[in-house]
Amino acid sequence: MRAVDIQSEITEILVTEEQILKRLDEIAAQVAVDYADKDLLLVGVLKGAIMVMADFSRALPTVAPIDWMAVSSYGASTKSSGVVQIRKDLDEDLHDRHVLIVEDIIDSGLTLSWLLENFASRGAASVEVFALLRKPDAAKVHVDCRYVGFDIANEFVVGYGLDYAEKYRNLRDVAILAPHVYS
């Protein structure tokens, strides 16, 4: 599904699928150089990173295992409780591995900063972040992000893995969701 198919539900297309795929190719080429001869492990944060991870890992010209983690700091609320709960832990041992966390979006940075500390405490050789999208104006904590696809405004966006009430993840573009949809 493309954003043009749901024009009445969005206000603006921020990034098209074509722009995303081009940027993923660029970042994958850089990651291949930066991690040459290193034991790289890609870690995706469920559920939002599924689309990014799939296309990014296919763009990598090198072998890189993938693992997944699911965490929550929201529960049933729309506001973070500040307490991160692990819903699904990693299957891989991080000791002496070079970990690249693959994220769909960084907004407040709170959960991601917790993940960085958690992975470092597990003995990872290094832990870096690749986020397809970053909202600089939404940051509550500073998170070093080695690779960023696109900086975007602090708007409610959907598509390319990002959802509203589990809808719109399969949207191929990233778009601002119209307020009448979620109000």
Condensed to tens digits (0 to 9), the pLDDT of residues 66-88 reads 999 998 765 544 445 567 889 99
Condensed to tens digits (0 to 9), the pLDDT of residues 108-140 reads 898 899 999 999 999 999 999 999 999 999 999
The position carrying tokens 């709170």 is 110
Report the topology of domain 17-154. Rossmann fold (3.40.50)
Is 0.85 topped by the overall pTM? yes
Helix (H) or strand (E) holding 79: none
Residue of 107, 144, 163, 173 marked catalytic: 107
Q: Alpha carbon 92 to chain centroid distance? A: 19
Please state the domain extents for the chain.
17-154
Residue 163 is among the residues annotated as catalytic for this protein: no
Q: How is 58-77 classified by DSSP, letter by letter?
A: HH-SS---EEEEEEES-TTS
Strand partners, 22: none
Q: What are phi and psi of 60, to 5 degrees?
A: -65, 130
